Amino acid sequence: MHYQDDPMKYESAIGEIENIRLLPDLETLSILKRYYAQLCLMKNRFPMEKGDTINVAFSWMDKNSDTSNAVVFEDINYELACIMYNIGAVHAAIAANETRTDLDSIKNAFTHFQCAAYPFEQIRDSMNAVKYSAVDFDPSILTFYITILLAQAQECLLEKSIIDHRKNTVIAKLAIHLRDVYMQCHKKTFSVVISARMLQEWLRTCTVKSEMYGAIAMLHLGLQAEEDNKMAIMFLIYQLVYIIVFRQRNAKKENDFIYHDRMPKSEELAVIEVQIYWC
């Protein structure tokens, strides 16, 4: 790419980028990463940053904002940040779409969850994207995404440990860590600038996952106590698990007498995953 090149030479390539449908697949990842690399080359060769002589307007929608207006900046660094964001989003979507019913699927999900966290770290720590005042680039949201994505990678490790019949203490430690992470995420959600609908969804997801992994931890601690013939400890642990059952019964009672929501069948319950919203 040079100054004297015919601009029509790049018309089809630009059209491909403009018309791309960002589907959560490896092909989309490849296109986004190639485009990001080309942007880096353009940035090094042409003055396209804010205030430079070449003014190219880059426009994106801010999904976490309450407004439907596009955010526009004549700054190639803004485009770089948005593409980096979408690279993370596609990695996360690929991971979330994995069934995780076998080791290969668990491995793929683990890899993509970890890969998804890196772009958000780069945006938060190295790209100074907060200067664009976009909600998507708010450090609190990016930190939340990073924490959730790495937690879901940890979930994959836990699932593999259960399949591999690892020691109960190992499984319990992984589950306790996940319980604590989701508990902290629940607390930090209130400091994140998002819509009320998303806030309720995130709070519900963090609560469910924290309780679920806490129960898994207690179950395997109880199994370990049973293996060690420590029946008093096993009794205490299972008594704590009973508290969860009691809360379940209490929730059912409240629904029967107050809320009257339809009780879904188990097969209707979709796997709850944190949604990564696109720029």
Q: Is residue 242 assigned to a domain?
A: yes
Give the pLDDT score at 274.
Answer: 34
Q: Is residue 50 assigned to a domain?
A: no
The candidate with the shortest Cα–Cα distance to 175, out of 116, 221, 224, is 221
Q: Is residue 215 assigned to a domain?
A: yes
Q: Is residue 108 assigned to a domain?
A: no
249: pLDDT strictly greater than 70: no
191/271: higher pLDDT: 191
Domain count, the chain: 1
Q: Is residue 132 assigned to a domain?
A: no
Please tell me the pTM assigned to this model: 0.78
Which helix (H) or strand (E) element contains residue 61?
strand 58-61
* Residue 89 to residues 64, 108, 183, 205, Cα–Cα distance (Å): 13, 15, 23, 18
215: pLDDT strictly greater than 80: yes
Domain that holds residue 219: 166-261
202/128: higher pLDDT: 128
pLDDT, averaged across the chain: 82
Note the pLDDT tens digit of each residue in 77-106.
999 999 999 999 999 999 999 999 999 999
Least confident of 33-37, 153-157, 202-206, 209-213: 202-206
Note the pLDDT tens digit of each residue in 250-275.
667 766 777 666 655 544 443 333 33
Report which residue type is found at 128.
Answer: N
Note the pLDDT tens digit of each residue in 133-177.
888 898 988 999 999 999 999 999 999 999 999 999 999 999 999
Give the pLDDT score at 268.
Answer: 42
Q: Is residue 194 assigned to a domain?
A: yes
C-alpha–C-alpha distance, residues 273 and 270, integer Å: 9
C-alpha–C-alpha distance, residues 189 and 199, integer Å: 7
Percent of the chain whose pLDDT exceeds 70: 76
Q: Is residue 170 assigned to a domain?
A: yes
Give the pLDDT score at 198.
Answer: 76
Q: Is residue 51 assigned to a domain?
A: no
Give the pLDDT score at 266.
Answer: 43
pLDDT bin (cut points 50, 70, 90) of residue 18 is low
Tell me 53's DSSP state. Answer: S
